[in-house]
């Protein structure tokens, strides 16, 4: 898993419910990312974090919040889940100066 | 606005053949171009990458060709094997004001290599 652990791996929610996806890295890199993957749309950036305590919006941030309380962990929260948020979510960590990312194995979320 | 366009969406290649996936980008500020390979149920994994000052990079059976003037780059898989069957993503990255790389992905190509 390239040193990136995501939990849970699977989750089913009802519309309006909230949940948090957890991500932790076992390296000491500053940058961490949340992407969502949908068929035919590739990987789209939701939020990213350059370092502990800083976060910034990506392409598709609406309906999500993130938290980077320490260097190791970066969580993604859905406050009121919608069916449009049914997707596979990937957390990734950066490597420093290059565009190389190391991804976790994904969290598959279904919103009914 | 899709900054990295990838084609084809799917590709079927005979074992031993050459698989070719093409990508085009718009932003000339991109400074790194990685390719990722993804198997079902797994996260994408870095396969090979190139910088824009290099026209070609080869690692084993995988080669990236880069055409800076045309703003295009491609992945060639020589002697394709059934084990290469996966989804491939091209990507482009740019250093942003926060001092780290922001990576934009293509839409992916599902490759099937048949025996």
Q: Which residues on chain B are in Cβ contact (under 8 Å) with A2?
A: 43, 45
Helix (H, G, I), strand (E, B) or coil at B84: helix
Per-residue pLDDT 10s for chain A (112 aa) are: 579 999 999 999 999 999 999 999 998 888 899 999 998 888 999 999 988 888 999 999 999 999 998 999 999 999 999 999 999 999 999 887 677 899 999 999 999 9
B102 touches chain A (CB under 8 A): yes
Cβ separation of B93 and A97 shorter than 8 Å?
no
DSSP class of residue B20? E
Cβ(B80)–Cβ(B109) under 8 Å? no
B2: closest chain A residue by CA: A41
- A105 and B42 within 8 Å at the Cβ level: the answer is yes
User: Smallest Cβ distance to B108: which of A33, A42, A105?
Assistant: A42
Residue A46: closest CA among A92, A2, A83, A5: A92
pLDDT tens-digit series, residues B41-99:
999 999 999 999 999 999 999 999 999 999 999 999 999 999 999 999 999 998 776 66
* CB contact B109 to A (< 8 Å): no
The verdict on a CB contact (< 8 Å) between A99 and B44 is no
Of A54, A94, A105, the CB nearest to B101: A94
SS (H, E, C) chain A: CCCEEEECCEEEECCCCCEEEEEEECCCCCCEEEEEEECCCEEEEEEEEEECCEEEECCCCCCEEEECCCCCECEEEECCCCHHHCEEEEEEECCCCCCCCEECCCEEEEEC
């Amino acid at each position: 898993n390239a040193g990136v652990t995501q939990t849970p791996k699977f989750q089913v929610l009802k519309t309006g419910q909230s949940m948090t996806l957890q991500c932790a890295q076992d390296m000491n890199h500053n940058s961490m990312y949340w992407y969502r993957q949908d068929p035919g749309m590739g990987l789209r950036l939701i939020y990213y974090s350059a370092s502990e305590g800083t976060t910034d919006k990506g392409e598709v941030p609406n309906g999500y919040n993130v938290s980077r309380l320490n260097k190791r962990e970066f969580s993604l929260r859905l406050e009121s889940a919608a069916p449009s948020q049914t997707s596979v979510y990937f957390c990734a960590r950066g490597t420093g100066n290059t565009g190389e990312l190391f991804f976790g194995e994904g969290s598959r979320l279904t919103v009914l | 606005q899709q900054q990295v366009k990838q084609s084809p969406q799917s590709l079927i290649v005979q074992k031993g053949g050459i698989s070719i996936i093409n990508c085009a980008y718009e932003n000339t500020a991109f400074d790194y171009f990685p390719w990722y390979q993804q198997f079902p149920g797994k996260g994408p994994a870095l396969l090979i990458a190139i910088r824009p000052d290099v026209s070609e990079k080869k690692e084993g059976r995988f080669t990236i060709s880069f055409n800076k003037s045309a703003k295009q780059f491609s992945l060639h898989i020589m002697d394709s094997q059934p084990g290469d069957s996966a989804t491939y993503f091209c990507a482009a990255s740019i250093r942003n004001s926060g001092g780290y790389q922001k990576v934009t992905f293509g839409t992916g190509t599902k490759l099937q290599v048949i025996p």
